[in-house]
Chains A and B, each alone.
Chain A
Amino acid sequence: MKFGIIVFPGSNCDRDMMHALRDDLEQEVVMLWHKDKDLSMFTKDDCIVLPGGFSYGDYLRCGALARFSPMMEQVINFAKHGGKVLGVCNGFQILCESGLLPGVLLQNDHQKFVCKNVCIKSENNRNIIGQNVADKILKIPVAHGEGRYHADAATLEKLNKNNQVIFRYCDEHGEVHLHSNPNGAVNNIAGICNEGRNVFGMMPHPERASSSALHNIDGRLILQAFTN
Chain B
Amino acid sequence: MKYTAHINIMPHKELLDPQGKAVSNSLHNLGLSQVHDVRIGKHVTLHLEAANEAEANSLTTEACKKLLANGVMESFEFSLTAN
On A, residues with C-beta under 8 Å from B are: 60-61, 64, 68, 96-97, 103-104, 106-111, 150-152, 184
Contacts and interface: CB of A to CB of B under 8 A. Distances in A.
B33 interface: no
A100 to B, nearest CB: 14
Contacts of A61: 70
Given A109-B16, A111-B19, A64 B67 contact: yes
5 contacts: A104-B72, A104-B73, A109-B16, A111-B22, A150-B15
A180 to B, nearest CB: 19
Contacts of B67: 60, 64, 68
Contacts of B72: 96, 103-104, 150-152
Given A106-B16, A107-B19, A108-B18, 7 more contacts: A60-B68, A61-B70, A96-B72, A111-B18, A111-B19, A150-B73, A152-B72
A110 B73 CA distance: 18
Interface string B12-24: 0001101101100
B contacts with A: majority SS? helix
Interface in B10-47: 15-16, 18-19, 21-22
Nearest to A155: B72
Nearest to A103: B72
Contacts of B19: 107, 111
Nearest to A184: B16
Nearest to B67: A64
Nearest to B72: A104
Interface string B63-83: 000011010110000000000
A64 B73 CA distance: 13
B18 A110 contact: yes
Contacts of A68: 67
B15, B18, B21 — which one has the most chain A CB atoms within 10 A of its CB? B18
Contacts of A60: 67-68
Q: Give the top 8 A-B pairs by smallest Cβ distance, nearest first.
A: A111-B18, A104-B72, A104-B73, A107-B18, A111-B22, A109-B16, A61-B70, A104-B70
B70 A64 contact: yes
